[in-house]
Structure 1
C-alpha cells in the first residue's frame, strides 16, 4: 500500500518530536546539574564559615576564610549564572516541544478528518448505487 503524504508527514513529525523530547531531557539534566553545583558551592561557603566561626578556630582560620570568601562567592555567582542559562535553555526547548506536539496533533487531526471524508464519500457512493438499483427495480415493475 502506498504511503500517503500525510503518513509521510506524520513520520517526519514523530522524528522531530522524538528529537525535541531528547533535547528537553538533556536540558533538564543540564539544569539539574547546574543546580547541584550551585548547592555545592553554597554549602561549601556555609561549611567554611562554620569552621572559621568555631570556638576552637584560631585567627589563622578566620583570616584564611576571609581570603577564600571572595572566591567562594565568585563560585556561587558563576553557578547561579549557569543555573539561569540552563533554565533559559530548558524553557526554549520546552517551547519547541510544545510546538512539535501541536504540529503532530494538527497532522493527526487532519489525517482523521481526511479519513472521515473518504468514509463519507464511500458511503455516498454505496447509497447512490442502492438508490439507482431501487429506481431500476421500481421502473421494471
Structure 2
C-alpha cells in the first residue's frame, strides 16, 4: 500500500513538472513570436522564434534554454531571442541576459574555450568555434542549482 501511495505521488509530481514546463514553453513561444513548438522529447521542447532561431528548452529542477548558430558570429536576432527566452526561464530582464551572453561569447572567442559568466544565481555560457562549417556557437542560460 505504501508503494502504491509513493507511486501515485511520483506520478502527480511528474505531471505537475510537465505542466510547469508546458507553461514555460508557452510563455517563451508567445514572447518570441514562435511559429512552431516542437514535440516534447524527454525533458526538452524546441520552439522556433519568429526570427527563425531554434531554442531548446530543457525542464529539469531548473530550466535551461540554449540555441546554436552556424553564422560566423551570432546575429542580433540570435541574442535577442535567446535573451528573451532565457530571461523568462530564469526570471531576469532580457537586457541583463543579453549582456552576459555577449560577454560569454566574446570570452569564448578570445580564450578558445567554453565560457561561463555567473551572475546572482544564474549563468550564461557560450562555446564558440568560428572555424567550424556547421556549429559555430552554442550558448545557454540557466539558474545555478542550489548546493
Both proteins in one fold, TM over 0.5: no
Larger RCO, structures 1/2 (Cα 8 Å, 6+ apart): 1
More helix per residue: 1
Computing the radius of gyration from Cα coordinates, the structure with the larger value is 1
Considering fraction of residues, name the structure with more strand.
Answer: 2
